[in-house]
């Protein structure tokens, strides 16, 4: 509600806002304040009228305009306030309250006092004249007991007058309601816009100051931990600077000579706030990451002291993981190939971690960036080994779960397909124009494929289970189409649960494979995995309210996870054979992967 192009009100904005809020709350007068250097060729009253018109002021609005260089001022009021604030009262407010304080250079006090004086003038109510005392009047004529002639014309006149009064009251009530509704809407908009303006202005100032500090901080980080650690921080600063630059451009448009209508102004202020928050969020994420690095340097002794125990804990799992791999090898290669090299890679990671610990504890030990780098290498080696061994155990559980559920899924698919045949046999379609029953051929073929996969030797329990789940899903869908979706919701739900389990197995398999071979897996496989995870989450979210849609989402998640695994395996095979890395340029080392994983986790969290 305060626009100051001169800067003379900066120190008293809070006091002015309080005075304007009091005027609005206590006297229902919305006062806008505009301080400018000059109105140029326009007179002060013409400028005030033009400003009020362009900004759609009305209802209970008033506008105080002061042109400092011109030494002129004016108060504009809407038509709705003319009964409350007369011209003599406005002249008195200007001459006795506003201008003396302006002449003394007390600009904030002039606005505050003017708001108070307008409130007092609006509250002043002219005294109601006393009701006349009834004097003696003519004596009413005696009532004639006889029946006089009825004045029909007079009676009709009274009725018509009453109807007219009722119609007028209804019209006035509707108009007053509309005016009051418009006034309430305008008041709420102004309050909301005022809050937004204050928040936006504060964000602009604080973010600008923070960016200036962050630029220096990035140089300190580079000196402390190296350019590699400072690079993400500088990227975040550039991102925040872009947001702030755009926000200041919007603020400039709000401050220029072309006024915006209230909805546009509110939208622009909202965008300033959103951009300021995004800029600060980018800086916050990097501040947290840098704090972790500094904590790591401060706590280096404790971290290094704990690493040998962590190393031995993972080393102790290697023998059991090797035995688990041996048990998996009695199945088809597809059942164990995803984790075939995990134990070997885990040993490499632990060896690298031991070497990093040795370098960190050498005499003399590294400091600063060098120390943090060795700690990160050791931690990544331990974490990588843990993930690789966990993936072996997870694959073994997945194979066992798939094998345990396989026969039940086949039996359920067979039962559903048989029930669908029975429904179609007992209720044949009559008439050429009648709707046809579902085609059972796809479900039949899916069941045959599942039986073949289950009887293969050696078999892949996960693939066989997947085929069985598909057969059950097709059979359940055929049966639901035959009997009606509502009657068969429970069966579809059962198929959905199985599909969700199968999809979760495939998604987990692909996720474990990509996570433990990230250096050799490219973008396409990662994209398929992300979409598979999204579809699986969608299936879980809709399983209760729309089982059929959830089933489709789960099946799509499963297919995407298969694609992700196949693509990732192909990427890794090429990379492992000596091909270029699909994820980064040559010359990157394990530290890049370590830091990328840690930074990515911080930013996404």
Distances (CA, A) of 72 to 37, 67, 76, 98: 10, 5, 13, 11
pLDDT at 131 over 70: no
pLDDT tens digits, residue range 458-482?
988 888 888 888 888 888 887 887 7
What pLDDT is stored for residue 174 in this prediction?
55
Task: Report the C-alpha gap between 528 and 549 in whole angstroms.
Answer: 20
Cα(493)–Cα(489) distance, integer angstroms: 6
> Is 470:445 a contact under the CB 8 Å cutoff?
no
Residue whose pair of structure tokens reads 């198929």 in the numeric block:
495
Position 421 pLDDT exceeds 60? yes
Q: Is 592:584 a contact under the CB 8 Å cutoff? A: yes
Q: In the structure, how many helices (H) and strands (E) does the chain have? A: 19, 4
Q: Is the separation of the CB atoms in 446 and 412 below 8 Å?
A: no
Nearest C-alpha neighbor of 110 from the set 187, 47, 39, 31: 31
CA 511 to CA 11: how far, in whole Å? Answer: 58
The residue with greater pLDDT, 19 or 450, is: 19
Q: How large is the C-alpha radius of gyration of the chain?
A: 40
Between CA 474 and CA 495 the distance in angstroms is 9
- Percent of the chain at pLDDT > 90 equals 33
Give the up-direction half-sphere exposure of residue 463: CA atoms within 13 A in the CB hemisphere: 16
Q: Helix, strand, or coil here: 4? A: strand
CA–CA separation, 385 vs 347, rounded Å?
A: 7
Residue-level pLDDT at 287: 86
The model's confidence at residue 376, banded by pLDDT at 50, 70 and 90, is confident
Apex 83 CA angle, 82 and 84, nearest 5: 90
β-strand 61-67 against 72-77: which pairing, if any? Answer: antiparallel
Kindly report the backbone phi and psi dihedral angles of residue 4, in degrees, each rounded to the nearest multiple of 5, phi listed first.
-120, 105
What does DSSP assign to residue 520? G
28-32, 279-283, 333-337: segment of lowest average pLDDT: 333-337
| Nearest CA among 532, 533, 479, 471 for reference residue 498 | 471
- Asked whether 429 and 437 are in contact (CB, 8 A), the reply is yes
For the cut 90, the answer to whether the pLDDT of residue 502 exceeds it is yes
Q: CB 577: neighbour CB atoms within 10 A? A: 8
Mean pLDDT of the 539-568 span: 91
pLDDT at 490: 54
Query: What's the chain's average pLDDT?
Result: 81
Return d(Cα 453, Cα 470) in angstroms, integer: 12
Predicted pLDDT of residue 153: 64
The string of pLDDT tens digits covering residues 75-114 is 999 988 888 888 889 999 999 999 999 988 899 999 999 9
Q: What CATH code is assigned to 2-123?
A: 3.10.310.50
Residue 346 confidence (pLDDT)? 92
Q: What pLDDT score does 18 carry?
A: 93
* β-sheet bridge partners, residue 36: 67
- pLDDT at position 437 is 60
In sequence order, the β-bridge partners of residue 64 are: 33, 75
Domain ranges of the chain: 2-123, 182-298, 302-384, 401-426+439-582
Q: What is the distance between the alpha carbons of residues 247 and 251, in angstroms, rounded to a whole number?
A: 6
pTM of the model: 0.42
Q: Quick one: pLDDT at residue 173?
A: 57
Q: How far apart are CA 42 and CA 51, in angstroms?
A: 11
Whole-angstrom Cα distance, residue 515 to residue 507? 12
pLDDT at 500: 93
Q: What is the pLDDT of residues 185-215, one digit of tens each?
A: 444 445 677 788 888 888 888 899 888 888 8
CA distance 464 to 472: 12
Please tell me the predicted confidence (pLDDT) of residue 183: 46
């Amino acid at each position: 509600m305060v626009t100051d192009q001169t800067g003379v009100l900066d120190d008293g904005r809070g006091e002015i806002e309080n005075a304007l809020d009091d005027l609005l709350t206590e006297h229902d007068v919305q006062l806008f304040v505009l301080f400018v250097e000059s109105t140029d060729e326009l007179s002060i009253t013409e400028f005030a009228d033009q400003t009020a018109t362009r900004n759609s002021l009305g209802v209970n609005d008033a506008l105080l305009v002061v042109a400092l260089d011109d030494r002129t001022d004016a108060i504009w009021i809407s038509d709705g306030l003319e009964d409350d604030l007369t011209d003599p009262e406005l002249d008195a407010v200007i001459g006795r309250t506003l201008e003396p304080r302006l002449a003394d250079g007390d600009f904030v006090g002039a606005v505050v006092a003017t708001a108070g004086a307008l409130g007092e003038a609006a509250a002043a109510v002219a005294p109601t004249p006393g009701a006349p005392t009834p004097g003696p009047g003519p004596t009413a004529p005696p009532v004639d007991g006889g029946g006089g002639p009825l004045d029909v014309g007079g009676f009709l006149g009274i009725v018509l007058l009453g109807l007219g009064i009722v119609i007028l009251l209804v019209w006035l009530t509707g108009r007053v309601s509309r005016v009051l509704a418009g006034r309430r809407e305008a008041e709420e908009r102004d309050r909301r816009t005022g809050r937004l303006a204050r928040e936006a202005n504060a964000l602009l100032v604080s973010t600008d100051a923070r960016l200036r500090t962050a630029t220096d901080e990035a140089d300190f980080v580079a000196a402390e931990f190296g350019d590699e650690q400072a690079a993400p921080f500088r990227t975040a600063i550039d991102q925040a600077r872009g947001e702030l630059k755009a926000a200041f451009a919007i603020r400039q448009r709000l401050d220029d000579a072309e006024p915006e209508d209230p909805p546009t102004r509110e939208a622009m202020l909202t965008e300033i706030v959103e951009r300021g928050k995004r800029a600060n969020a980018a800086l916050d994420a990097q501040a947290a990451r840098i704090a972790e690095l500094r904590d790591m340097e401060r706590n280096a002794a404790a971290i290094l002291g704990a690493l040998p125990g962590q190393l031995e804990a993972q080393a102790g799992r290697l023998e059991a993981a090797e035995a688990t791999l041996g048990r998996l090898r009695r199945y088809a290669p597809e059942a164990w190939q995803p984790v075939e090299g995990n134990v070997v890679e885990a040993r490499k990671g632990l060896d690298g971690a031991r070497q990093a610990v040795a370098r960190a504890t050498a005499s003399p030990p590294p400091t600063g960036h060098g120390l943090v780098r060795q700690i990160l290498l050791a931690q990544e080696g331990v974490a990588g080994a843990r993930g690789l061994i966990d993936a072996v155990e997870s694959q073994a559980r997945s194979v066992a779960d798939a094998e345990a559920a396989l026969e039940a899924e086949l039996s359920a698919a067979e039962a559903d397909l048989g029930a669908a045949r029975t429904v179609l046999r007992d209720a044949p379609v009559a008439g050429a124009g009648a709707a046809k029953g579902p085609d059972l051929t796809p479900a039949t073929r899916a069941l045959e494929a599942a039986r073949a996969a289950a009887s293969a030797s050696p078999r892949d329990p996960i693939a066989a289970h997947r085929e069985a789940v598909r057969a059950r899903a097709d059979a359940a869908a055929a049966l639901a189409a035959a009997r009606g979706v509502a009657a068969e919701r429970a069966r579809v739900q059962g198929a959905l649960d199985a599909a969700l389990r199968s999809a979760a197995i495939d998604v987990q398999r692909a996720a474990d494979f990509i996570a433990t071979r990230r250096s050799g897996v490219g973008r396409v496989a990662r994209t398929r995995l992300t979409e598979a995870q999204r579809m699986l989450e969608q299936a879980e979210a809709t399983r209760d309210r729309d089982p059929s849609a959830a089933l489709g989402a789960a099946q799509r998640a499963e297919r995407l996870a298969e694609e992700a695994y196949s693509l990732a395996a192909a990427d890794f095979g090429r990379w492992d054979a000596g091909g270029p890395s699909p994820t980064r340029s040559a010359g990157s080392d394990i530290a890049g992967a370590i830091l990328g994983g840690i930074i990515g986790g911080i930013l996404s969290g």
